[in-house]
Amino acid sequence: MKTSLTGIKPTNNPHLGNYLGAIRPALALARSYRTLYFIADYHALTTVRDPALLRQYTRDVTAAWIASGLDPAQTLLYRQSDVREVFELAWVLSCLLATGQLERGHAYKAALDRGEAPSAGVFNYPVLMAADILLYDAHVVPVGEDQRQHIELTRDVAKRLNHLYGEGTLVVPEALVDDAPLVPGTDGEKMSKSRGNALPLFAPASELRKAVMRIATSSEPLEAPKEPEGSVVYRLYRQVAPARADEMATKLRAGGYGWGHAKQDLFEALEAELGPKRERYQAIRADEAGLEATLAAGAERARAIAAATMRRVRHAVGID
């Protein structure tokens, strides 16, 4: 069975876009791959500068994934920072990468274009990410389109190391790029924490309902037939309850069914999907000692894989 590795950056409390666009599809992979999931807390350090916040996000995100169905006994869940070998491998890889390749990095270039003075952490981000992947012999890495370049760089450096030091030293991974439609936020733009248009994932039902009622709609009268395509309510409903989406489209087109009704149906579909998970989330999140124990157990298993890879790499390069 091939190995799939998912990296999760703890930079916010997950929203519905993260759930539909990242969490749910990544968890579905456990049916066809040996799956590894890790919390990329050292990557978050390029943007999160508040230690209490980083601790909080790390726990929020870990609890959100477990509540959403990640079973730490069936898959491997660990925290990046618990496995120090990743920095050892990152150094070896950086010695094989031209600075020019990092200078062409999309995220680094975008920061320069915005007139920022990016840190060396932003510059080296792709090297640490390549180490994350290569340390665990991952065959596939599920990512969004924005991460494709990072996987290309990972492949390049793995091939270079194998070519120089011995074929088979590292597994050359492949990107598994999902082409699912972006989840729209309440304003119709991409749902994103920074835009303030997100539907909360595990907030109380009353708060979720309020957020759903805030979704922008057109203002036809109740009786008027309505076009579902393109409306935010319908786009969201189709992703949350695909089996019943046609039914909602028919009702909208027939007239006599208002946007308020559609929002109520969307809210109920969200509640059906998220309600039970919210309860699990609250229990898991409240038990911080339990979360730490889960991560510690994962770290131990992850370290065994990392140590084996580093033995191979160190021997290959002549440091042993």
* CB proximity list for 173: less than 8 A, separation 6 or greater: 5, 133, 134, 138, 139, 140, 141, 151, 154, 155, 158
Q: Is 43 in the site for ligand TRP (CB under 6 A)?
A: yes
**Two structure tokens written together for 295:** 């991560």
| Contacts (Cβ under 8 Å, ≥6 apart) of 95 | none
Query: Residue 105's binding partner, choosing from ligand TRP, ligand ADP, none, with beta-carbon cut-off 5 to 8 A by kind?
Result: none
Residue 141 Cβ vs ligand TRP, minimum distance, rounded to whole Å: 5
Q: Cα angle at 81 between 152 and 110, to 5 degrees? A: 40
Alpha-carbon gap, residue 235 to 268, rounded angstroms: 15
Rounded to a whole number of angstroms, the minimum distance from the CB of residue 157 to ligand TRP is 14
> Would you call 199 exposed, middle or buried from its count of C-beta atoms within 10 A (0-12, 13-18, 19+)?
buried
- Rounded alpha-carbon distances, angstroms, from residue 288 to 58, 133, 299: 11, 28, 16
| Window of 141-149, 198-206, 252-260, 289-297 that interacts with ligand TRP by CB under 6 A | 141-149
Q: How far is the CB of 9 from ligand ADP (least distance, A)?
A: 6
Complex with ligand ADP: residue 13 or 169, whichever CB lies closer: 13
Q: How far is the CB of 135 from ligand ADP (least distance, A)?
A: 20
Nearer to ligand ADP, 126 or 258 (CB): 126
Can you tell me which of 40, 77, 266, 299 binds ligand TRP, judged by CB under 6 A? 40
The CA–CA distances, whole Å, from 132 to 115, 280, 302 equal 29, 29, 11
Q: Specify the residue, 118 or 144, whose C-beta has the smaller distance to ligand ADP.
A: 144
Rounded-to-integer distance, Cα 50 and Cα 1, Å = 40
Q: Are 70 and 100 in contact (CB under 8 A)?
A: no
Closest to ligand ADP by CB, 70 or 305: 70
Q: What angle do CA 199, 200, 202 make, to 5 degrees?
A: 145
Instruction: Select from ligand TRP, ligand ADP, none the partner in contact with residue 12, using the beta carbon and a kind-dependent cut-off of 5 to 8 Å.
Output: ligand ADP
Where in 163-265 does DSSP place strands (E)? 174-177
Segment lying near ligand TRP (by CB under 6 A), choices 87-95, 128-136, 202-210, 258-266:
128-136
CB nearer to ligand ADP: pick between 191 and 269: 191
Minimum CB distance to ligand TRP smaller for 76 or for 266: 76
Pick out residues in 8-37 that bind ligand TRP (CB under 6 A).
Answer: 9
Interacting residue ranges for ligand TRP, rule: CB under 6 A: 5, 7, 9, 40, 43, 129, 132-133, 141, 143, 147
